[in-house]
Structure 1
């Protein structure tokens, strides 16, 4: 099967200098990559479903260099960096990812990637794991990295072991809590030209991602409210200096609305009609259906600038959607800050795939398991050492 990408010529946009600098700022990922590249993994097939970005390159190419067959698809239809996808395809990865995929094209990529058996799955969102389970394929093991995927995988009758690294401390307490917001708010300002001083922000969901987004917004001068159904998390939001409001009131009274639940259907037609005039809609949850973009697309709309669309709700009310409802922090070409913060997570993925390829899961029965604690500790120690 040939790769399905936007334009092979875009590979030239990924320079040797850019990749060399990424090795400097992500030294642990680089070290694991060099180790993996020297291994003999001929005969292994690795299938990945993830955000296809520049940082995907040092995560997957070492396995190609080790002789494995590697395939990758985009776990979100609007986060793909087409230059990175082209570069991966040029260097031996079978790629099914391009920006602006339709729902049918997205579903087709899952079907293609799951058509044949594989040894290892690295998933973000659980959809690829689900497809392999439904087709009855047996694999050595799989990795899952998102809250959305955890919700999906927990409902499956698994016939192989799946290892959850969404809930490990490095991912949950660091990336979800701090790093998403570190990326997201600079991208928000790059896309919109807006600062947050004095602006009202509603964060929907006060899990680790929502908590970090709310905290950073307050630090940047916003007046922050939180809509959260869980009373314990709502109480925690109050202790972080946020006003706790019901969803309807929050939608009516806030200028910037951020969904951060990882679930689908959070803002449907009824909720979207409650928005105040001029509201800006942002999503940072994994699911690109937290906001009902399909319903918004039935309304008159205007493309304002890159990653911003205006929708006319009637009665002289317009609202603005950023990045088609996909994760704003990964909006292609906008680049936030702190690319070095991806080092632990690229390392977790690399090390986890290598562990599976080395037979790490052979003693595990089918089911949902925690990512090995010893691997997490090893990675944390190496990250600490790289900072000294």
Structure 2
């Protein structure tokens, strides 16, 4: 049985569509990179005859990207990449855009989640755009017949790139994928500033509690963890970092944060934020050491970083103490509070809106030019994980600088010759 579209799920799709369009208009008004690309895509139709299958967090900024791809000539089908991150009104507004079909809905169960991915694959895609690689793995597992027609795809997030590189290492990846997550215009802004700001903002909004004066434990010191730690310190919190990589641990130490194993940090922290992309980062032995009232939040893609199964086994009772906050009461009376069901706190909470608009303008600008690249130059890429070509990343940066009215220097011919030569010495 085919998954229903969002319009078929809602009691009042027209009202939802109106509100979703209002959110999209606000986002698009603050996304100058996508606005500039929209003029180009509308005039040149670089995606004519392309069919794009997408699994993304369906909210207003994502909708701006989807609309851009449709304006560029593509037929687009989209669903969510997380059961709780879709905004139904935005999904409904997207479904009303010419060339777009949306199956994304909030609160779906596991079967409905994968039914929607199956429905999206029904667009008979030539290009995929993914956040977490569920779409890519589904195509490989269930629809290998589609692989010969796929020109390539784009992956948005750290977890998805890790999965794709594992597939490539195992010889299982059979069409080209751009690691959009790893390119500077995404990593340096989306992961650091986007995750850092949005994770802490949504923790504060969901709980109505202050970050200042608390001890924030950040698990993982990649770009996302670095952003959370940086922003928490800027909000006058004490920061503890936990890591498994000695170089990242040393980096955190040299940047002024306390570094220790999680089982030690467990007794020190007031707020815990996981950013590792791995499972079982916080487990039973850590819960046993935590103080009463701690907040547990995850900013990694999947809901496996905080072991909620073990926490549930330890608890004598659970209750929702606030929208998006579940309290686990332990036998001694200690209460541990889990936000957003352990899912992405910046997207899956009841008040969550994801990363700031300006940050996602940069990330989705990279997505858009990568899709254009696949449509125009698919033969240049083999079946592996590819870095985003530097010329595309620079193109997006230049559009952003122009929009901000920022001018920079350029190299002279002599400077360029000097940098390109190996025989200059003292």
Q: Match of 1:356?
A: 374
Q: Which moved more, 1:104-113 or 1:203-212?
A: 104-113
Q: Match of 1:250?
A: 265
Q: 2, 5, 13: which one pairs with 1:3?
A: 5
The superposition leaves residues 175-194 of structure 1 with CA deviations (integer Å, 9 ceiling, x where unpaired) of: 21222112222222111111
Q: Check the 8 A contact 1:267/1:291 in 2, yes or no.
A: yes
Q: Following the alignment from structure 1 to structure 2, what is the Cα–Cα distance between the partners of residues 266 and 323?
A: 17
TM-score (norm 2): 0.85
Matched, 1:329 2:329: no
Q: Check the 8 A contact 1:141/1:162 in 2, yes or no.
A: yes
Q: Match of 1:44?
A: 50
Q: Following the alignment from structure 2 to structure 1, what is the Cα–Cα distance between the partners of residues 118 and 288?
A: 35
Matched, 1:376 2:393: yes
Q: Match of 1:33?
A: 38
Q: Check the 8 A contact 1:182/1:336 in 2, yes or no.
A: no
The superposition leaves residues 50-75 of structure 1 with CA deviations (integer Å, 9 ceiling, x where unpaired) of: 11001122111233344422111111
Q: Check the 8 A contact 1:161/1:365 in 2, yes or no.
A: yes
SS at match of 2:166: coil
The superposition leaves residues 16-48 of structure 1 with CA deviations (integer Å, 9 ceiling, x where unpaired) of: 5x5444333211111212332341745321011
The superposition leaves residues 328-348 of structure 1 with CA deviations (integer Å, 9 ceiling, x where unpaired) of: 222354447842222111211
Shift of 1:116: 6.1
Q: Match of 1:14?
A: 20
Matched, 1:119 2:137: no
Q: Which moved more, 1:340-349 or 1:298-307?
A: 298-307
Shift of 1:80: 1.2
Q: Alpha carbon RMSD of aligned pairs, Å?
A: 2.2
Q: Following the alignment from structure 1 to structure 2, what is the Cα–Cα distance between the partners of residues 119 and 305?
A: 44
Q: Following the alignment from structure 1 to structure 2, what is the Cα–Cα distance between the partners of residues 23 and 142?
A: 24
TM-score (norm 1): 0.92
Shift of 1:49: 1.0
Larger Rg: 2
After superposition, the Cα gap between the structure-2 partners of 1:249 and 1:183, relative to the gap in structure 1 and judged at 3 Å, is: same
After superposition, the Cα gap between the structure-2 partners of 1:103 and 1:214, relative to the gap in structure 1 and judged at 3 Å, is: same
Q: Check the 8 A contact 1:30/1:58 in 2, yes or no.
A: no
SS at match of 1:252: coil
After superposition, the Cα gap between the structure-2 partners of 1:197 and 1:63, relative to the gap in structure 1 and judged at 3 Å, is: closer
Shift of 1:15: 4.0
After superposition, the Cα gap between the structure-2 partners of 1:240 and 1:191, relative to the gap in structure 1 and judged at 3 Å, is: same
Shift of 1:170: 1.5
Q: Following the alignment from structure 1 to structure 2, what is the Cα–Cα distance between the partners of residues 265 and 115?
A: 35
Q: Following the alignment from structure 1 to structure 2, what is the Cα–Cα distance between the partners of residues 83 and 376?
A: 32
The superposition leaves residues 313-366 of structure 1 with CA deviations (integer Å, 9 ceiling, x where unpaired) of: 3221211111111222223544478422221112111222222222x2222111
After superposition, the Cα gap between the structure-2 partners of 1:36 and 1:272, relative to the gap in structure 1 and judged at 3 Å, is: farther
Shift of 1:203: 0.5
What aligned pairs does 1:63-142 form with structure 2 within 5 A after superposition?
A: 63-92=69-98, 93-114=100-121, 117-134=124-141, 135-136=143-144, 137-138=146-147, 139-142=150-153
SS at match of 1:253: coil
Q: Which runs of 5+ in 1 are unaligned?
A: none
SS at match of 2:378: coil
SS at match of 1:316: coil
Q: Which runs of 5+ in 2 are unaligned?
A: 406-426
Q: Which moved more, 1:217-226 or 1:268-277?
A: 268-277
Q: Check the 8 A contact 1:123/1:143 in 2, yes or no.
A: yes
Q: Check the 8 A contact 2:6/2:92 in 1, yes or no.
A: no
SS at match of 2:276: coil
Q: Following the alignment from structure 1 to structure 2, what is the Cα–Cα distance between the partners of residues 296 and 84?
A: 34
Q: 313, 320, 339: which one pairs with 2:357?
A: 339
Matched, 1:56 2:56: no
Q: Check the 8 A contact 1:47/1:71 in 2, yes or no.
A: yes
Shift of 1:373: 1.2
Matched, 1:144 2:155: yes
SS at match of 2:330: strand
The superposition leaves residues 296-319 of structure 1 with CA deviations (integer Å, 9 ceiling, x where unpaired) of: 556532112221111123221211
